[in-house]
Amino acid sequence: MRDAYHDELDAITDQLVELTSLVGRAISLGTQALLSADLGLAERVIDGDAAVDALRERVERRTVDLIARQQPVASDLRALTTGLRIASDLERAGDLAVHVAKLARRKYPTGAVPPELQITIRRMGDVASAIAEKTGEVTATRDAIRAAELEADDDVMDGLHRSLLLTMLAPDWPYGVDTSIDLALAGRYYERFADHVVSVARQVVYLVTGETLRA
């Protein structure tokens, strides 16, 4: 039988899963806005960040209240502290999705992504939202094997990021400094998004197994 304390822990986990889902949706829609120069969609992602911040606040308050009321034992305390870090990582990931959307808005009605890089950016967006989806599953199920897959997804993201930079550094790259700077920043947003979200999965695995997947 479950007690109120463990019900509360489960509720916190549910909120973290929901937060992961919100930021996954944000990076997916932000990417769509960026690729299709869709101002309305960009604004929606930007406005949607308030919900991410509010949910992070709720998770934080609930966790700290639980610590204060229940004086948990060391291992539970570790889980709760990790939850706070996870909420913080997810909020940053949400900010990065907003940065993508803001780039789309700033370049409107011109697009920020030239035809040569549409596929790369689309794949970066797809990998980012797949990472968020899997991390949500890992958080809900604590499945360490599924978490290990995320390391491969993170490598794919790093490869796409490198490929983006190499394309722009090629001698026949036809665009100027302006476009290159925007795309370099966009590349960094995706790479950082993946980093924060994969770090969430790593922290979940560490809680379950006590093993660090990768430094």
**Rule CB under 8 A: which residues touch its own copies?**
60-61, 64-65, 67-69, 71-72, 77, 80-81, 84-85, 88, 92, 165, 168-169, 173, 177-178, 180-181, 184-185, 188
The Cα–Cα gap between 177 and 180 comes to 5
In this structure, the dihedral spanned by the alpha carbons of residues 37, 40, 46 and 49, taken in order and rounded to 10 degrees, is -130
| Residue 146: CB minimum distance to its own copies, A | 27
The Cα–Cα gap between 35 and 17 comes to 27
Q: Which is nearer to its own copies, 30 or 130 (CB)?
A: 30
| Residue 161: CB minimum distance to its own copies, A | 12
The residue written with tokens 């007690």 in the block is 3
| Residue 178: CB minimum distance to its own copies, A | 6
Q: Which is nearer to its own copies, 27 or 183 (CB)?
A: 183
| Residue 69: CB minimum distance to its own copies, A | 7
Distances (CA, A) of 69 to 2, 8, 63, 173: 18, 12, 10, 60
Letter string b/e over residues 94-120, b meaning 16 or more CB atoms within 10 A of that residue's CB? bbbbbbbbbbbbebbeebbbeeebeeb
Q: Which is nearer to its own copies, 1 or 177 (CB)?
A: 177
Q: Which is nearer to its own copies, 41 or 66 (CB)?
A: 66
Q: Which is nearer to its own copies, 33 or 87 (CB)?
A: 87
| Residue 110: CB minimum distance to its own copies, A | 15
CA-closest candidate to residue 41, choices 114, 115, 125: 125
